[in-house]
Chains A and B, each alone.
Chain A
Amino acid sequence: MSKVLVPDSSSLIFVDRRGKLDLLKNTINKDFEVCIPPAIARELIEDPQKLAEKIHPLYPNIAKNLLESSSRFKKAVEVWIEIRPIDYIRYSEAMDKTRIRLSKFDKKWEHSVKKSDAELIALCVQLIDNGDEVLALLEDENLKRVLNEITENVKTLSIKEFLPGV
């Protein structure tokens, strides 16, 4: 049984903006594997790049910071954060359940639910089924609530609870 940490992008953005990504890496290195689903990786690497392109003409310094953040995450997924693919066939039920539950929040169709929310929960379920012990780092209380409804076996913490003093 492995201990796996599944951080949401908000937790990682929080840590990175404080220049503490290495602290997180060093804190968890011995105890946890770190996994994120593909959609979260896109949020951390591709989204800031696209955003930087858009704002660069007016805000070159902020754009530069976004690109640097994207590079740090790119390096992190090469070294210590694993992008774990979702077995979409096997875990389509978990993703559907998540979508149905989340779509009730804002009274929209299930297909409008963001992929990252559904993938994050599906990955947690997938890891539990693999026999792993899973700790999810979530800043989003509503997402936390849905995760706990779908599986009781995942422990959840906010980044400030996990890394006090950051």
Chain B
Amino acid sequence: MTTKMMSYLQALGNFDRARILAYLVKHEGETADHISRQLNYPKATIYKYLRELENVKLIRSEQKNRKKQYFVIPFAIKISHETLDEAIYEAEPTYLQVVRERYGGEKLDEIRQLAKDLKSGKTTSTLRQAASKIGVEYYELMIALDELGIL
């Protein structure tokens, strides 16, 4: 439960994601295209945020007439000093989350790309060189790749 609460808080901690969610509360079944126009965000940004909201199960999507419609999944978050403390200590973040916090989402994307390249044998450098190129420490790259199932 606490892990779920932390994922809700993380998702809603971003103003744009929260705004999209709030919009969907009032406009159930909207498409990404429509939300993009109404809220004036680039489509790529909308897709990214919708995907993130869907990942934490704050929204769900349905395919209708070749269009994907989005719906809010009812949720409730009750925060008190006790539940927040509990949530932080019980929701074990993965190292990938640490990477995101320390370096931002772009580095995480680079690590994910490296993981894909390693899987398909496309890499042309050693893992230590890759860590240096991405700009993360080798040890943390090893943990991140392990979490991604690459090691």
Footprint of B on A, CB under 8 Å? Answer: 9-10, 13-14, 17, 43, 47-48, 51, 54-55, 58-59, 61-62, 102, 105-106, 108, 112-114, 116-117, 139-143, 146, 159
B102 at the interface (CB under 8 A from A): yes
* Residue with the highest number of chain A CB atoms closer than 10 Å, among B118, B133, B139, B143: B139
Q: Interface range on chain B: under 10, 10 to 19, 20 to 34, or 35 or more?
A: 20 to 34
Besides the known contacts A108-B129, A139-B127, 13 further A-B residue pairs in the complex with CB atoms under 8 A apart: A9-B139, A10-B127, A13-B139, A13-B151, A55-B102, A62-B93, A106-B124, A114-B128, A114-B129, A114-B132, A140-B126, A142-B123, A159-B151
* Alpha-carbon gap, A17 to B151, bound state (A): 11
From 116 to 134 in chain B, residues with beta carbon under 8 angstroms from any chain A beta carbon are: 118, 121, 123-129, 132-133
Quote the shortest CB–CB distance from B93 to chain A (angstroms). Answer: 6
Chain B residues in the interface with A (C-beta under 8 A): 89, 92-93, 95, 98, 101-102, 118, 121, 123-129, 132-133, 137-140, 142-143, 146, 151
Contact among B98, B123, B139 for A47, CB-based, below 8 A:
B139
Can you list the 9 inter-chain pairs with the closest CB atoms, starting with the nearest? A114-B128, A105-B125, A47-B139, A106-B125, A143-B126, A14-B151, A140-B127, A13-B142, A142-B126
Instruction: State how many angstroms separate the Cβ of A49 from the closest Cβ of chain B.
Output: 10
Query: How many A-B contacts are there with CB distance less than 8 Å?
Result: 79
Q: Is the CB of B129 within 8 A of A113?
A: yes
With a cutoff of 8 Å between Cβ atoms, the chain B residues found around residue A43 in the complex are 138-139
Whether B143 pairs with A13 at a CB distance below 8 angstroms is: yes
Query: Which residues from chain B contact A59 at a C-beta distance below 8 Å?
Result: 93, 98
By a CB distance below 8 angstroms, the chain A residues around B151 are: 10, 13-14, 139, 159
